[in-house]
Amino acid sequence: MKAPAPNPHRAVHKMTKYQVRKIINYVNLSASIVVTLFGLAMLAWILTVLFGKGFHYLNWAVFSQMTPPPGESGGLLNAIVGTLALTFLAVLIGTPIGIMAGTYLAEFGMKSKFSSVVRFINDVLLSAPSIVVGVFVYTLVVAPSGHFSGWAGAIALSILVIPVVVRTTEDMLKLVPIPMREAAAALGAPRYKVTISIVYKAALSGMITGVLLATARIMGETAPLLFTALNNQFWSVDMNQPIANMPVVIYQYALSPYEDWQNLAWAGALLITISVLLMNIMARYTLKSPTSR
């Protein structure tokens, strides 16, 4: 295609093909800048609202008092502890399962049919609606036992942890060079030892990243806890009973007509967002730290 130089005399009557192309180019690229600004503006709006409202209502009572009855002031202590307990347990259950399954895919199964099915199903679970996981655990644990419980919540969250850990473990183990395994094998190390003391060691920071990402993902999850851990207005760390947790408290308080509750919901929303963002930043940092590989 020829691109004749723009001729000022001709351009008055009719635009050259080249000019039309340039205009299309400018219009579309400007549109890209506009939509990027739109995305950043939305982020700024959400964060401004969250930080403004959140810090305004954040005080010592939030960390030292229990969730209050309607119309009274109080804190979120039991919900904070509940969320920490649920997250900790879920990661504790989900991580070993995820690491072992990921190890199988990277070290044993590789290109077998079984592995590709597992890989596919794992990717589906990775994006499966979390509310469906909640219903599943409801039918599995809550309905047979007859009551909501912390354990049910932890199991639901652990089902969300597993696919994240499987995925990152497999990806990270695959990055470990084959000769490292061969070198260890040549020295007479049995295979489990090769995996545990050579491959895991080389891939450790990547595997930790996966666990951190999984933690970040479940900390703010609300939907699966609605039908499992439910909520508890009082102090309780009994995993056999319903347990208070930040996301469900935020959900109930934000939609309540009481101003004190709504304010607490904003403080809680800020806390949970900061924790999730911190986890994400830590995950990035771990992956880039000099100890990796």
Partner 1 sequence: MATPEEQMALHRQLHAKSTGVLLDKLFKGSAFSFAALVLIVLFGMMLMLLKEAWPTFAHFGFGFFISSDWDVVNNKYGALIPIVGTLVTSLIAVVIGVPVSFGIAIFITMMAPAWMKRPVGIAIELLAAVPSIIYGMWGLFYFAPWFANYIQPFMTNTLGELPILGQFFQGPPIGVSIFTAGVVLAIMIIPFIASVMRDMFEIVPTTLKESAFAMGSTTWEVIWKVVLPYTKSGVVGGVILGLGRAMGETMAVAFVVGNSLELNTGLFYPGATIASTMANEFNEASGLHMSSLIALGLILFVITFLVLSIAKWFLMMLERAHEGTGT
Segment 20-59, which members bind partner 1 (CB under 8 A)?
A: 21-22, 24-25, 28-29, 31-36, 38-40, 42-43, 45-46, 49-50
Residue 283: φ, ψ to 5°: -60, -45
- Which residue stretch of 76-84, 199-207, 218-226, 237-245 sits at the interface with partner 1 (rule: CB under 8 A)? 218-226
Cβ contacts of residue 266 below 8 Å, gap of 6+? Answer: 50, 53, 54, 56, 57, 254
Q: Do residues 23 and 11 make contact, with C-beta atoms less than 8 angstroms apart?
A: no
Q: Do residues 282 and 216 make contact, with C-beta atoms less than 8 angstroms apart?
A: no
Segment (H or E) for 212: helix 200-219
Per CB under 8 A, the list member of 59, 69, 100, 289 interacting with partner 1 is 100
Nearer to partner 1 (CB atom), residue 64 or residue 197: 197
Nearer to partner 1 (CB atom), residue 64 or residue 112: 112
- Which residue stretch of 5-13, 57-65, 75-83, 119-127 sits at the interface with partner 1 (rule: CB under 8 A)? 119-127
- Which residue stretch of 7-15, 57-65, 223-231, 234-242 sits at the interface with partner 1 (rule: CB under 8 A)? 223-231
Smallest separation, CB 39 to partner 1 (Å):
5
Q: Do residues 137 and 156 make contact, with C-beta atoms less than 8 angstroms apart?
A: yes
Per CB under 8 A, the list member of 19, 205, 222, 241 interacting with partner 1 is 222
- Total site size for partner 1, rule CB under 8 A: 99
Question: Of residues 241-270, which lie at the interface with partner 1 (CB under 8 A)?
Answer: 247, 250-251, 254-255, 265-266, 269
Nearer to partner 1 (CB atom), residue 64 or residue 184: 184
Nearer to partner 1 (CB atom), residue 38 or residue 234: 38
- Which residue stretch of 4-12, 76-84, 189-197, 235-243 sits at the interface with partner 1 (rule: CB under 8 A)? 189-197
- Residue 122 binds partner 1 (CB under 8 A): yes
Question: Hey, what's the torsion of the CAs at 12, 15, 16, 20, to 10 degrees?
Answer: 150
Cβ contacts of residue 272 below 8 Å, gap of 6+? Answer: 83, 219, 220, 246, 247, 250
Burial of 231 (0-12, 13-18, 19+ CB in 10 A): buried
* Residue whose structure tokens are 């002031």: 73
- Residue 130 binds partner 1 (CB under 8 A): yes
Question: Of residues 52-91, which lie at the interface with partner 1 (CB under 8 A)?
Answer: none
Nearer to partner 1 (CB atom), residue 60 or residue 117: 117
Nearer to partner 1 (CB atom), residue 64 or residue 201: 201
The DSSP secondary structure of 6-33, one letter per residue, reads: P-HHHHTTS--HHHHHHHHHHHHHHHHH
- Residue 105 binds partner 1 (CB under 8 A): yes
Q: Do residues 126 and 164 make contact, with C-beta atoms less than 8 angstroms apart?
A: yes
